[in-house]
Chains A and B, each alone.
Chain A
Amino acid sequence: MYEELKAIVGEEFVSKEPEELYIYSSDPGTMPPVKPDYVVMPKTTEEVQKIVLLANKHKVPVVPMGGALSLSGLVRPLRGGIVVDMKRMDRIIEVNEKARYAVIEAGVSEGRLKAYLDKKYPSLRISTPDAPPIATVTANALIHGSGRLSQIYGFHSEMITGMEVVLPTGEICRVGSCSVSPYWFSRSPLPDLAGLFIGWFGRTGIVTKLGIKLFPKHRYRDVMIFVTENPSYVSDVIWRVAHTEMAEDITVWAQPRPEWAEGFQHTTIYVTADSEEELEFKKKIIRNALMDYIKQKEGGFLYLTPGMKAMFLQEPMSQLVRFADVRRGGGFEYVGAILPVDLFDVAYQKGLEIVERLGIDWAFSIRIIGRSHCMMFAYAYPFNRADEEDVERARKALHETNKAVLEMGGIPWKAEAPAQQLILESMDEGAKRLIKSVIEMLDPNGVMNPGNWEVK
């Protein structure tokens, strides 16, 4: 099989060397490593197709991989097989400035697309997630990622305009407007087949090209941080700010370090505009929306010096890296729970209860998605990978958090295999049957990333 893979991608881009397989066996999260048999790096859709056909021939699993930064071990080959690292497919194929979309190959990173737009199309931007710049745009969108524009435009998956997919049987198909038109402008008004590939963690095919929406980039950007000391206020604070429709992005963070941050909730509000007058106007509307809290002395805006502002205006924020390694050893994982915003207080209290009981380092970081339609509540737990007890503590905290999230009515995001099973336990029977049917229909040989969304 090694020889056959070599014939498809060339010797340089296939490996079965133990040290390389080791690297591909895990991510910085807590999930135990699972070694692949081979790693390949295709350059074209046709090469991906040939790899999938080969996998079918040998009945060997095939697992697509973007930046491998989900932290929940999503690209570990749960049943071994071939990991298909998409990073060589890194062409930005098209930017349609007027229709505001880009067509990219699946290996294009967030950093590369952002830099490209900054240079060639300075009036356009993507919704950047708070992930390292090497995270890929496609994988992030496919796992329902969110980012700096999600408060206005929703999950990154909602920004997908079309895709090219290699199905588990090796056929190539396009979904969205690009299936009938040379333009990748929209998934509407056709039957929305994109749903067959979003949120499935590569269980239904390998996306090789993606159409993604771009958005206006404004000249002025500013940040405001509203501080409260009572978590029960936060969902209302979010609701009020979202109601103004003046904020581009709303996040909330709470953490015990540095010491001054402990016990407080910080609602960070990003505002953009094309003139200083517009910026001031928007900030004033937001301040007025929260004036009841200010007058009652229950909340107020942090005074930000230019240095502090510059830090918060970074995309992505480099400070996050420091937190991610606070325990040293490079271990970091979080449960990103997708929850209704009005559950903020319950989610916050439950999270505190878990971290206090388990005595674990933590940070809560929340991003509002849509006009407070829901939130991504990240319970983040850094740990030292060299310390097995520390890893186990974090693993336990993550498991307990996943269970708690489901109990309170939320859904764990980018769930690792055990969390997927927890979700399936709570899922409507009809939905489960449909998931099973879809997988059986698309992947009759069971080769496409098996072990994920396994309905028993």
Chain B
Amino acid sequence: MNLKFDPDRCFNCDSYACLTKCQYLNYDFESAREERIKIAKGEYSKVLEECKTCYSCEEYCPYGNHPFYRIVELQEEYGINLAPKPISKQLVKMYATKEKDLAAIREVGSKALSLCLFPDLRDNVKSKLFEGLPVIMGRQIFCNLVYLHFANMSVIKERARQTIENIKKYGVDELVCFHDECYGFFNSYAKAYGIEVPFKTVHLYEYLYNWLKENEDKIRKLNVKVAYQRNCSNRLSPETDRILDKVFELIGAERVEREYDRENGICCGAVFQMWGEYELAEEVQKKNVEDMAKSGARFAVFNCPMCYVALAERTAKAGLMPILVSDLCRLAIGEMPKLPGRD
């Protein structure tokens, strides 16, 4: 299972956007070129140690050459530990599929909603929005892309085909992915590694847009300003960010212009905390939330549940109301969602 990566594209690249646009590294054109070439050749580069695994270079690359996947592969090859070893190892064990997970697989029909590994969201999808859509979740359908943050490409590769097989066993032809990461797995990662996905996948934003469009009469526009936290894995499917704009438009949510959104989105800090880089986590969380607060938005809107966990309390203290995209849509159709993870 090899990455579709063409070194010549990097050698001939005239932008080095992967590094020059990076939110965390500070390379001028010349040093970016040097490091990029090392990476293209498969040599050690200091980028491998400095990379904060924000996924952004996957979006920045003008050729779709998968610079981020390449970096992660090399990080692993050169034995770079981004996180404390016990944390990385335990995480790998924690989300490995168990016999009992496989035993839980049942045919659910041709269409399902994947809640990935977020059982805390079970109640949040009990909504007209998802009516008639069976929910599947658990380690057996986990995409494992979280290990991109831990320089562990091999475990993703090792589990990738089985994850797809397991989903197929549910009998689905169409899978709605709640989390960007799952959608990115099927539509970016699988393609980058030449893995066939034998069912159609739909991003949550596309699903929400279609539902809301068909049920426009049920919408009462919210007329609110929202600050959106664009999560790292949305970089794997940047086209969906435009669909989100259309969702916001339908429900009357104005996505405020702010420094750390769209291409300049920054991390929620959760991964840095796992790595033990507490100062970096504090720095990015502080500037992100301050940016949200000064934008005049009423809601801080998340799609990634991890971003929500990492930033909800902080955004609330800054005077914003933290909420998931789907829950914001529920407000627009007159439903009152509960807080994720609360009884």
Contacts and interface: CB of A to CB of B under 8 A. Distances in A.
B278 interface: yes
A264 B84 CA distance: 13
Contacts of A227: 84, 86-87, 90
Nearest to A287: B278
Identify the interface centre among B84, B85, B273, B341: most chain A CB within 10 Å of its CB.
B84
Contact of B84 (A259, A284, A287, A299): A299
B84 A293 contact: yes
Contact of A229 (B86, B270, B274, B275): B86
A294 B279 CA distance: 13
Given A284-B278, A301-B276, A259 B85 contact: no
Contacts of B86: 227-229, 264, 298-300
Contact of B93 (A260, A293, A299): A260
Interface in A293-309: 293-295, 297-303, 305-307
Interface in A210-241: 227-229
A259 B97 CA distance: 11
Contacts of A260: 90, 93-94, 96
B125 interface: no
Contacts of A300: 83-84, 86-87, 274-276
A305 B276 contact: no
Contacts of B94: 260
Contacts of B273: 301, 303
Contacts of A302: 87, 90
B341 A297 contact: no
Contacts, number: 62
Contacts of B89: 229, 264
Given A227-B90, A229-B89, A305 B309 contact: yes
A259 B93 contact: yes
B167 to A, nearest CB: 23
A307 B120 contact: yes
B90 A298 contact: no
A297 B85 contact: yes
B98 interface: yes
B228 to A, nearest CB: 22
A298 B85 contact: yes
A123 B86 CA distance: 38
Contacts of A298: 84-86
A293 B84 CA distance: 8
B341 A307 contact: yes
Contact of A297 (B81, B96, B120): B81
Contact of B341 (A229, A303, A305): A305
Nearest to B94: A260
A295 B85 CA distance: 10
Nearest to A284: B278
A439 B120 CA distance: 58
Contacts of B341: 305-307
Given A303-B270, A306-B309, A295 B90 contact: no
A353 B275 CA distance: 33
A228 B276 CA distance: 13
A297 B84 contact: yes
A237 to B, nearest CB: 12
A306 B312 CA distance: 11
Interface in B73-94: 81, 83-87, 89-90, 93-94
Nearest to A230: B86
Nearest to A262: B93
Contacts of B90: 227, 260-261, 264, 302
Contacts of B84: 227, 293-294, 297-300
A305 B120 CA distance: 10
B93 A297 contact: no
A380 B274 CA distance: 30
Interface string B163-193: 0000000000000000000000000000000
Contact of B85 (A229, A291, A303): A229
A391 B80 CA distance: 48
A262 B90 CA distance: 9
Contacts of A293: 84
Q: Sorted from nearest, which 3 A-B pairs have the closest CB atoms?
A: A300-B84, A294-B276, A260-B94
Given A298-B85, A302-B87, A305-B309, 8 more contacts: A227-B90, A228-B86, A259-B93, A298-B84, A300-B274, A305-B341, A306-B309, A306-B342
26 contacts: A227-B86, A227-B87, A227-B90, A259-B93, A259-B96, A259-B98, A260-B90, A264-B86, A287-B276, A291-B276, A297-B83, A297-B85, A298-B84, A298-B85, A299-B86, A300-B83, A300-B84, A300-B275, A301-B87, A301-B274, A301-B276, A302-B87, A303-B274, A305-B120, A305-B309, A305-B341
